[in-house]
Structure 1
Amino acid sequence: MALPDILKNSLEIPVIGSPLFIVSGPELVIAQCKAGIVGSFPALNARPAHVLEEWITRIKGELGEYQAKHPEKKVAPFAVNQICHASNDRLAHDIDVCTKLEVPIIITSLRPPAEVIDAAHSYGGKVFHDVINVKHAKKAAEQGVDGLILVCAGAGGHAGTLSPFALVREVKQWFKGTVILSGALSDGWGIAGALAMGADLAYMGTRFVATAEANAEQAYKDHLIQYAADDIVYTNLFTGVHGNYLAPSVAAAGLDPNNLPEADKSKMNFGSGGNMKQKAWKDIWGSGQGIGQITDAPPVAELIDRLKREYVQACREFAERMPAEALTASRAAAE
């Protein structure tokens, strides 16, 4: 496994809670980190701009206090997501804030993030970059990212179309950093599957929308519980980049989810969540295809405890299916 030192002894399960526009705030991030997974939020969720420093200071303070009171607990580091796109006029400011406060992990999206990498590495921070194909992955790797988040088919929000079986195995041939897999992961079996494929960490977003601490409308959480993979549409209409959305939320906004036009890419605007009257992610709700496994919206700690049990069970079942000689060899290698 290619995990940075900051993650080697701080995770209960190998998971990053992905940054969710509007939905991820300090409450969700703190709960995720206390329960032993990386919590994250988009910098643009902190509005106006000065609130970003307040959020980061609060997160660092509460996690530090919790760790001091519970030294036996695994408390994970947190991450801040930066949208590296011309429409994000806060990028320089937000990078400065994250550098000043030494945010442990920066998650970057869209453009290869050279200036973010330089800033994060100046204080020992790590940078994980979202990609949907090998071309983008190689560009990011050339600039020195510490990890690649492979956003595969079925992921919520801005998702790619490649199978994880293709993208993970191809990237692993040449990339030696941390590999994180995103795409329809909603339970412990998905986490185990990601690692069996060769990823170092699973990247889960939609499942954490349906939690008590998520800053999401109750109707959004109810939709995730009620609907399944057949209720997801893939379109670039709302932000100019293709993504997966809940079809019922598209219909509720007065649009036909089965007959959506192509986006005007010249009007891409990620800072406002979209490029038209109906906004992603406020009116049009993002969702991965793994929602068929979502049946409730529990507190984060309860959910992560469940995911851990499922993950352990999945690993045990996988080990039981291994040929005896392979299992013996793997145990010997571990020793």
Structure 2
Amino acid sequence: MSAAALQRLRLPLIAAPMLRVSGPALVTAACRAGVVGAFPTANARTVDELDQWLTQMRESLQDAEQPGPVCPNLIIRQPRLQDDLACLVRHRVEMVITSVGSPAAVVGPLHDVGCTVFADVASVGHAEKALRAGADGLVLLSAGAGGQTGWANGMAFARAVRQFFDGPLVMAGGISDGHALWAARALGCDLGYMGTKFIATEESMADARHKAMVVSSRLDDVMRTRAFTGLDASMLRPSIEAAGLDPDQLDETVTFDEARTRFGGGTSDDKPKRWRDIWSAGHSVSGVTGIHDVAGLVAATQAEYEAARRRTADLQ
């Protein structure tokens, strides 16, 4: 992310890319509010729809005074990767986040059009590999992040990576408000990820039941499991129970289809599906108290951020 793009931001915040949640309405609202608006390219059903989304978002932001960057998220381990990459290159996007795999296959073409590439990483080893592959910045996927999650303590993770990398860092996991965002900045991160609160926004594509569950849930309702994706993911226990599964009988060795067979009775299309029926949220879910519009959420977060900064000054 260029220095000029950072200067455009009202708040050093990324509205995190979330499957079945982040779409054009959420992204453009976030950008208009002065933060980075991110979305998984996989949320578009086809490459043609992705092309339409990018055109729509660019046109809808033309009258915005100082919009934040639109930031597609490329999931590396997906069949459509090369087609999605070609679409992003055609649109000359300014910022991309890669996840679930090395960014090596996409860095070159993105750099050729002046795009800054951030990579999701969940360990110091992942961080080192992503940098060797050419990533410009890192998203530190720490404990408590929603969706695919990390295991490391965010404070320790940030300080460990800062021992060998002085480029752009993003803290992902547990940022529930502006106070937590300021704490991430104090640790040496340039930006913070906020996902869970953006699920419960009017512009979110999330199922209305998902939004309501995020509002009613708290940190203790989030569990880490590999049962649904094969990777560590933070999932909402109430959604697992509502799907007829027993969260207490899931462990890291149980696949999603095995779980549905053992606890849900079969694997047909009418049975529960991950992301569609079984939903995610991060540890910051305790900070979600209602459904708001994106502009209001960003404004409230900025007020909290400034309050935290003043409190830090008072403690000196």
So what's the TM-score if we normalise by structure 2?
A: 0.93
Superposition pairs for residues 69-108 of structure 1, below 5 Å? 70=65, 74-85=66-77, 88-108=78-98
Letter in 1 for 2:24: P
CA shift, 1:227, in A, is 1.1
Superposition pairs for residues 9-158 of structure 1, below 5 Å? 9-64=7-62, 66-67=63-64, 70=65, 74-85=66-77, 88-158=78-148
CA shift, 1:109, in A, is 0.5
Residues 238-289 of structure 1: per-residue CA shift (max 9 Å, x gap): 110011011000001111111114356799xxxxxxxx75332111111001
Letter in 1 for 2:26: L
SS in 2 for 1:16: strand
Distance 2:230 2:13 in 1: 28
Mark the runs of 5 or more structure 1 residues left unpaired by the alignment.
Answer: 268-275, 323-335
Distance 1:290 1:266 in 2: 25
CA contact (8 A) 1:181 1:202 kept: yes
Mark the runs of 5 or more structure 2 residues left unpaired by the alignment.
Answer: 258-266
Distance 1:89 1:257 in 2: 30
Residues 190-212 of structure 1: per-residue CA shift (max 9 Å, x gap): 11011011110001111100100
CA shift, 1:223, in A, is 1.1
What is the aligned-residue RMSD (CA, Å)? 1.5
SS in 2 for 1:168: helix
Query: Equivalent residue for 2:303?
Result: 309
CA contact (8 A) 2:229 2:256 kept: no
Letter in 1 for 2:294: V
Superposition pairs for residues 99-248 of structure 1, below 5 Å? 99-248=89-238
CA shift, 1:186, in A, is 1.3
SS in 1 for 2:247: coil
Residues 55-105 of structure 1: per-residue CA shift (max 9 Å, x gap): 0011111112x23xx3xxx311110011111xx110000000000111111
CA distance 1:28–1:260, change in 2 (3 Å): same
CA contact (8 A) 1:180 1:202 kept: yes
CA distance 1:265–1:122, change in 2 (3 Å): farther
Letter in 1 for 2:293: P
Distance 1:17 1:137 in 2: 22
Distance 1:117 1:6 in 2: 21
Matched, 1:283 2:273: no
Letter in 2 for 1:318: T
Distance 2:115 2:19 in 1: 22
Letter in 1 for 2:99: S
Distance 2:128 2:284 in 1: 28
Distance 2:161 2:255 in 1: 28
Distance 1:98 1:222 in 2: 33
CA shift, 1:21, in A, is 0.3
CA distance 1:266–1:23, change in 2 (3 Å): closer
SS in 2 for 1:258: helix
SS in 2 for 1:127: strand
CA contact (8 A) 2:28 2:57 kept: yes
Corresponding pairs, count: 304
Distance 1:246 1:90 in 2: 28
CA shift, 1:5, in A, is 2.1
Distance 1:77 1:133 in 2: 27
Matched, 1:296 2:261: no
CA contact (8 A) 1:4 1:178 kept: no
CA shift, 1:18, in A, is 0.8
